[in-house]
Structures are given as C-alpha cells and as structure tokens.
A and B are shown apart, each in its own frame.
Chain A
Amino acid sequence: MIDCDLSVAAPPVSALRDHLDAYWRDSVTERGLRSLEPSYEPPAGVPRRPEPEPGTTLAVVRPVSAIEALHAEDLAAALAGALNDWVRVEWLDRDPRLRGSITVAPQSPERAVSEIERVAGDHRFVQVLLPVRGEHLLGRRLLWPVHDACARHGLAVAVRPGGNVGNAITPVGWPSHLVEDLASQGQAYQSQVASLVLEGALDRHPDLRVVLVGSGVTWLPALTWRLDKNWKGVRREVPWVDRPPSESLRRGVRMTVRPFDAPPEAFVEVLAHLGSERMLLYAGGDGPVPAVDYDENARQTYARLRD
C-alpha cells in the first residue's frame, strides 16, 4: 500500500543547524529560535519518529512545521531549505520506501520557486507543501510561478493543514476552541478549491495535481454542486473557466482519505456524490476507510511515482 501522508514533526531547530549556513546558524542561536512546532496542532500531536504501517510499499513523508509563521522571508526560506535537507538525510536516505515533500516559504513565491529548483533534481521528492491558510488564496495569479515550477518538474501541489494565522480561520472571526479551529479547516480547504478552479489555476496545467492533505473528504460534493450552479449563473465573471468546475476538480484535485469525516454507513453514498473514486489517496491511521484502488490512484497522482 502507498501511504500518501506520513506526517513527521519537524525537529528542533538545533537539529537543522548542519543544514544552515554560518549566518543563519549563528542567527537562530543568537535569537533563541528553537522550534517550528505549530500552534494549530495539539501539543506534541505529531509523532517525531513514525513507522510506516506494515505492508507499506511507499510512504510520502510530510514534515509538519509552522514555517509560514515567521514574517521574514529570508529566515523562513533558509529554514525551509534546511528542513528539506534534513528530510533527505534523515528519512529518504535511510529507508528506500520513503518519498519526500518539499517545504517552501510561502511568504515569497520567488523564494519558493528557487527552493523547488534547488531540490527538484532529487526525484524522491514528489510534492510541494503549501499551507491551507496562506496570505493569499492559492489560485491567485501571484502564486502561479509556484504552480508553474511544480508542473515543470512533475511535482504535485500538496495543500496541508494549518498555516498563516494572520486572518481568522472563519469568515466570521476567531473561534474560542481548538476543536472549532479543526472543524473550520474544512471551510479553509473549500475556499482554496474554489480559488484554484475559478482563477483558472487548475486548467492552466492539465497535468498538475493538487493534493488536499488531511482535509476531510465529505465536504467536497456539496462544494462542487454549489460551484457548478454558481458558475452557471455568474460565469461571465470568469470567462476563462469554460467548463463546469466539477470537471476541472475531478481531474485536478486529490484528497488523502483520512480523516474521511463520514461514518462507514455513509461511504457508498459519499463516494457516489463525489462522482470519482480516483480522487482518493491512502493515508495511514486507525479505523475503516472506503475500499478503492489507492495504489493506482497514487501512481496517477504523483508523476514521480511512475518513474
């Protein structure tokens, strides 16, 4: 089985020292920057040394860091680079079943592209991580160079949980509890999907795949129906979207299957509403998930798994 989401806590910054140049090594020490642990996960909620489930043939490692929380793009880009080198040395070099995710500093599309160019030669990296909460929606034109770089190198765009907390997680302000925050991430993913399709980013690169990681699955059909309906009514506003959004979505968007959100009794109904079993990628974890051909879906999603 190909596990498309093996999440790994980013190490303490001290463990990245060997991958930083002298200036940044001094800087993080001098300024006491010790950790990239996000505030939007429960404390120590992400494992440091997860083992792939038995029977795993390939697993995509996803380092979990709040790289986007640092406001200085030079600092963030340096740490993103160090994190990628750490993934290569500490994970990919040690276990041939593992594949990597490229962390980039979303603060600067230009820096993000440079980092993709730097790392993409290593074909064990299969995707580029962007947070579901960014300063800008992912379909916006200023982020197209990042999409272009991914398409150029056969990398998927992976939209992962968490991210910039400058804007409230909801359209109505800041909720009180972590559980509300996690519930609202479903809406954050919905906004990204709408942006990607309506700005034309999905159709710009018909072979580009966008993987929604840990997004939940069951919210997608209702969004798709609403987008198709609204597109029918207001498509003059986005004349480059020349087909129903559902078509572009089914072609371009993939989702890891955990959390699925719906209980097993609703699996059949949700899959029918989704309209495509091709969109689901396996992710390790507890509890039942729908039975689909996950390995084939993973190979169709990640160009680099077909090499």
Chain B
Amino acid sequence: MATLIATGLVDCDVHNHPASDARLRPYLPERWRRHLERFGARTRHGLAQGFPYPKATPGAARVDAWPPGGGPPGSSLSFLREQLLDPLGVSFAVLNCLHAGSSQLDPELGAAVCRAVNDWQAAEWLELEPRLRASIVLPYDDGPLSAAEIDRVRGTAGAAGFVQALMLVRTVEPAGRRRYWPIYEACERHGLPLGIHFGGYGGHPISSSGWPSFYLEDHTGMAMAFQAQLVSLVLEGVFERFPGLRVVCIEGGVAWLPALAWRLDRLYDELRDEVPELLRRPSEYLREHVWMTTQPVDEPERPEHLLQVFERIGRDRLLFATDYPHWDYDDPVRAFPTPLPAGLRERVYAGNALALYGLPERPAP
C-alpha cells in the first residue's frame, strides 16, 4: 500500500464474528445460557436461521473469506491478519460486530448478549492484536441499558480498545426520539463517537409502502434508513442538546448526504417554527456532527461527480472502510471510480479516522 498512502491504512468497518454460539457461552451468565437454550433468540423477523431477504452470498460474505480452519467469515484472527491487515498495510481496523445481541426482543437478554460480545471482543481480539479497535455493541433500543453498558465497558481494563459505541440503523423509533438520549449522553460523557451501522430489525418495513420484494431493494433502501436517522437527529434537536455528539454513518453510502442537507435546509427555512429548539440550519449540524464511511462507495458514470460530492460533504468527514469480509467489500484502490487526489487521499485513508478516534499514527508495538 506504500503507493497509496505513506502511513498505514485505517479501515473503519471490519466484521468479526464468533466461530459459534458456544464461543460466547463462557461470557454469558448461567441464567441467560439456559434461556437461550430453552427459548432461543427472538427478533422482529420470522426466521430463526437466516434472513427474510436472503443475501447475495451465504452470510453476505466474500466467497474467499471463509477461514481455511473452519468457522464463519470473520471468525479467525489469523485469517483476518492474512487476508486483510497484512496485505493492505492496515495500521488500525475498527471491529463492528454484528452478532444479533442488539436486536433481541427481550431487552434484558439483549443486554446480556451484548455484554458477552464486548467481553469476548476484548479478550479474543483486542488483547491479541494491537492493530484492532472495536465498537461497543449495545441493546440500543433500550437507552438506559445501553448507557449502562457503555459505562461498564469504559470501566474495564480493556477500555482503551473500544473507540466507539454502536447502533444499527434500523431502530424501533427514529434515533432522535428520547428513548435513545441516554446513549448520546453516555457517548458525550466518555468522548466516544456513535457509530450507526447498516442493518438491524426494528420491525418497520424499509419503505413507507411496505416490504419490497428483493434483497437489492433492502440493500439500496438502507441508505434511506440512514437519511431518516439524520433527519430525526437534526430536527429533534439532538445536536443542540448533545453538542459533543459525533455520529458516524457506517456502510450507508455517501452520495445522498448533500441532497438531504439541501432538502432539510429548504424545509427548515419554511417550517422552522415547528422546531424552535434548532438554532442553526440543518446543514450546519450535519457538517459539524456527521462522519461517513465511504463503503459502499457510490459509482457515478462520471467519476468526477463523486469528487464533487466528497467536497460538499467535507474532506475532513470521510472515512475509508472495506466492510471485510462481506460481499460488497470495497478494495482501497479498485473500489473508487477515480483515484483520490493527493491531500484528500491521506485524510480519507487514515487522517480523518485517526483524528476522530483519537488514535496514534501507528499502533504501539
């Protein structure tokens, strides 16, 4: 990667996964182990195994990402080193574990599974590999339980490895509503950015006209879910109430943000009386409080259009991400329809993430 960027790459979205449910068991209290065996994990969709929109590939993974020693993609640290960290010259990778803990209907079970996942991440990933950092996974539809988990993790010996709190984008209510405020308060208290990642099962159809037919629509619609969350966060006044909150949209794509900012500004100019707690135009809050990972990077027919969009979002707000090991993985060189110009390149591939997450230029040996 030396030709791409002199310092190492920072990959802001990598997915680790337990090799099996049994691997989490040592981190779960006996009560919840028995509960899972007897009643299973219950979420807001009808399949106990798999997904209502079957993914593009098994586990939505790259076909070459299944570890040779067995287990699902993302379950082997040594294979992660071999396939991602070493060849790409990654200096830091942020793990966003998508294990189903956060989507449980029973919030107490969800909280227990999230605690287990976070402790497993600390013991089996962060302690073993200095290039890794992780997000704190949360039972995010329950604000108080989530805030308690952030506080708990920040009090553990491995706290420094966790650089972000994590929600999934498909929440039960729009993210600006009060039930989520304890999470934002906790993020402010600990100086942690809040990551909002693709996915989740909040129970609402992804379109306001019901469930679409295809995975292709579900995947495309995820960008609309991100838009809905930013609309809510801005117009509910969350950034006035929590001025230190930094939100990272992870795997939402990027090109829609300038259009959303324009739309919000126009509506705000027309209807601002309805939301008097906003003291500034929506675009200003977005510009100050929102970061975006680049994957899945948009592919306009004319590549310069992507650079125009990047300029409107802000050079200091874009974070490179691969989404390893998933099928829609972005290669740092080939994913972009045009090479990023010098100046922007250093920021997107490393500088912006180092600043956002408070990381040194290189991992400690």
Contacts and interface: CB of A to CB of B under 8 A. Distances in A.
Contact of B275 (A173, A177, A225): A177
B207 A226 contact: no
A86 B209 CA distance: 29
Given A170-B204, A171-B221, A221-B305, A184 B210 contact: no
Interface string A155-186: 00000000110011111111111111011101
B220 A225 contact: no
B1 to A, nearest CB: 24
B214 A198 contact: yes
Contact of A191 (B171, B207, B301): B207
A233 interface: yes
Nearest to A216: B263
Interface stretch (A46-54, A96-104, A205-213, A268-276): A268-276
A226 to B, nearest CB: 6
B175 A172 contact: yes
The interface centre, meaning the residue of B209, B223, B263, B308 with most chain A CB atoms within 10 A of its CB, is B209
A234 B236 CA distance: 36
Given A137-B212, A174-B174, A180-B235, A226 B298 contact: yes
B123 interface: no
Given A171-B224, A178-B274, A229-B299, A259 B174 contact: no
B214 A171 contact: no
Nearest to A137: B209
B224 A218 contact: no
Nearest to B296: A229
Contacts of A232: 299
Contact of A173 (B173, B213, B267, B299): B173
A269 B176 CA distance: 31
A275 B209 contact: no
A95 interface: no
Interface in B202-239: 202, 204-210, 212-217, 219-221, 223-225, 227-229, 231-232, 235-236
B271 interface: yes
Contacts of A307: none
Interface string B222-261: 0111011101100110000000000000000101101110
A169 B258 CA distance: 21
Nearest to B177: A176
Contact of A225 (B202, B209, B217, B255): B255
Interface string A208-245: 00000000101101110111111111110110000000
Given A167-B205, A172-B169, A172-B229, A191 B212 contact: yes
B261 to A, nearest CB: 9
Contacts of A140: 213
A263 B255 CA distance: 17
B54 to A, nearest CB: 9
Contact of B236 (A176, A226, A231, A261): A176
Contacts of B151: none
A173 B214 contact: no
A171 B201 CA distance: 10
B224 A133 contact: no
A282 B120 CA distance: 59
B262 interface: yes
A258 to B, nearest CB: 10
Contacts of B169: 172
Interface in B262-283: 262-268, 271, 274-275
Contacts of A187: 208, 224, 227-228
A173 B253 contact: no
B225 A171 contact: yes
B327 interface: yes
Nearest to A106: B209
B170 interface: yes
Interface in A178-202: 178-180, 182-184, 186-188, 190-192, 194-195, 198-199
Given A167-B205, A262-B259, A191 B217 contact: yes
The interface centre, meaning the residue of B169, B171, B228 with most chain A CB atoms within 10 A of its CB, is B228
A40 to B, nearest CB: 11
Contacts of A110: none
Contacts of A227: 220
Given A134-B209, A180-B235, A222 B171 contact: no
A167 B263 contact: no
B263 A261 contact: yes
Given A221-B305, A228-B299, A172 B174 contact: yes
Given A175-B174, A179-B275, A216-B259, 15 more contacts: A137-B213, A140-B213, A172-B169, A173-B173, A175-B231, A176-B177, A179-B268, A182-B267, A183-B231, A188-B208, A190-B224, A222-B309, A223-B256, A225-B299, A259-B263
9 contacts: A170-B228, A170-B231, A171-B204, A171-B225, A174-B174, A198-B217, A226-B220, A228-B299, A261-B263
Closest 10 CB pairs of A and B: A191-B207, A170-B228, A222-B255, A187-B224, A222-B256, A218-B259, A171-B225, A225-B298, A173-B173, A261-B263
Interface of B: 56, 169-177, 202, 204-210, 212-217, 219-221, 223-225, 227-229, 231-232, 235-236, 253, 255-256, 258-260, 262-268, 271, 274-275, 296, 298-302, 305, 308-309, 327-328
